[in-house]
Amino acid sequence: MSTALTGTTALVTGASGGIGAATALSLAAQGANVALAARRKDRLDELVERIKADGGTALAIETDITDRTQATAMIEQTVAAFGGLDTLVNNAGIMLLGPAESAPIEEWDRMIALNVQGLLYATHAALPHLLAAAEGPRATADIVNISSLAGRVPIAGSAVYSLTKHGVGAFTEALRQEVTGRHVRVSLIEPGPVATELFTNIRPEILEASKDAYANATLLHAEDIADTITYVVTRPARVVMSELLVRPDASQW
Ligand code: NDP
Tens digit of each residue's pLDDT (9 = 90 or more) over 68-120: 999 999 999 999 999 999 999 999 999 999 999 999 999 999 999 999 999 99
Dist. CA 35–CA 12, nearest whole Å: 6
Query: What is the reported pLDDT for 3?
Result: 86
| Packed helices 159-179 and 119-134: angle between N→C axes, nearest 10 degrees | 20
Domain 9-246 classification at class level: alpha beta
d(CA 162, CA 95): 9
Q: Percent of the chain scored above 90 by pLDDT?
A: 93
Contact between 70 and 122 under an 8 Å Cβ cutoff? The reply is: no
User: Which of 11, 13, 39 should be mutated for ligand 1, with most atoms under 8 A from CB?
Assistant: 39
Residues near ligand 1 (Cβ within 6 A): 13-20, 38-40, 63-66, 91-95, 114, 118, 146, 148, 191, 193-194, 196-198
Report the pLDDT averaged over residues 22-49. 98
Domain residue extents for the chain: 9-246
